[in-house]
Structure 1
Amino acid sequence: MVAGGLDVLFCGINPSLMTAVTGHHFARPGNRFWPVLHRSGFTPRQLHPSEQRELLSYGLGITNVVARATARADELSRAEYEEGGRILEEKVARLRPGWLAVVGVTAYRAAFGERTAQIGPQERTIGGSGVWVLPNPSGLNARWTVEAMAEEYGRLKSSPSGA
């Protein structure tokens, strides 16, 4: 679900099995993407995954680093991440969002070879777009609370458009 000229293109790691079945991003129960997106100010109300098309009206889109659906992201190979990063670079260069927001620091590191990357804005740009790494909203990422994630996503929301 992408379009040219977005303010932010959110990029998940890969589709969950639930996403593959429903066709809706971040559809797995327990995933905190939709509550965090609302609490951080990106959407005026909490959207349901089935309402993902509404994101386009807010200047937002969603894609993934790797297209293959898995039960867990640790089932992906290094080669899949690297190929996904290459494809993502082409997509971002073509669509030119203000920001590419990768949700998951491990995915960002693996896809782009940035072994020391941390959560937050990155020095690198892709196709003229700024890059921001956000915490992974998966329920498996218990280290980050909804409130802490919403604060970090809010930092992106309040920042000037990309590079």
Structure 2
Amino acid sequence: MRCIKNNAAIETLPAQKQWSFKGVAVLPDILAENLKAVIVGTAIGEASASRGHYYAGLGNDFWKLLHQSGLTPTLLWPEDNHTLPFYRIGLSDLNKTLSQSHDRGLHFDATGLLERMLGMQPDWVAFHGKTAAHAYARAFDYPRPGLGRQAWKVGLSDVFVLPQSSGANRRNDYDGRPSRLLWWREFAELIHCES
């Protein structure tokens, strides 16, 4: 793609919307009006829950991939997660009430995510890993997703599946591509080209 647009941060932080969950949210969503993308994981990892910030586990490349892909102009740290709406990015999870560092036995609230996304209407929902995307797709009888852009939507939002950034997800092939970063860059190009 040849579309390149300025990735400058918006000047004021939009008001964050609060959502209620069945139970107590481990970490609140980071959502605001007029987001380009909301990145949706399965659940908060134990390291993130203990530190009180998203993607805070040692070896997790989330913040590095976010920056190297061009989604943020500077490298952010987990403690900066509250600044993501400046870059028109939000964060959420399919399970808001449990923290664990694996997906076994999790209950995924696909309907709750749909309601939150219909309320916020981001341009894109990017599932952080195939497990999150598959859980959502299965709930609504969509085909099993691979990485990349999907033919189905979350409410009014286009959907993209990103490779998981966990250190446990390091290998030589990501659905035919040699690195996770290539998928993250494709997503960054898509959201910048459509603005």
Give the RMSD, CA atoms, in angstroms.
Answer: 2.0
Residue among 112, 131, 139 paired with 2:159: 131
How far 1:115 sits from its partner (Å)? 5.0
Report 1:122-161 matches (<5 A): 122-143=150-171, 148-159=179-190, 160-161=193-194
Question: Secondary structure of 1:37's match?
Answer: helix
State how many pairs are aligned: 157
Asked if 1:49 corresponds to 2:74, the answer is no
The structure showing larger relative contact order (alpha-carbon pairs under 8 Å, at least 6 residues apart) is 1
* Structure 2 residues without counterparts, runs of 5 or longer: 1-29
Task: State the TM-score, normalized to the length of structure 1.
Answer: 0.89
Task: State the TM-score, normalized to the length of structure 2.
Answer: 0.75
Moved segments of 4+, more than 6 Å: none
How far 1:10 sits from its partner (Å)? 0.6
1:16/1:69 contact within 8 Å kept: yes
Report 1:80-95 matches (<5 A): 80-81=107-108, 84-95=109-120
1:7/1:161 contact within 8 Å kept: no
Residues 106 and 71 (structure 1), Cα distance of their counterparts in 2 relative to 1, 3 Å cut: closer
- Specify the alignment match of 2:38 in structure 1: 9
Residue among 120, 126, 129 paired with 1:101: 126
Residues 144 and 27 (structure 1), Cα distance of their counterparts in 2 relative to 1, 3 Å cut: farther
What percentage of residue pairs aligned between the two structures are identical?
A: 28
* Structure 1 residues without counterparts, runs of 5 or longer: none
- Larger % of helix: which? 1
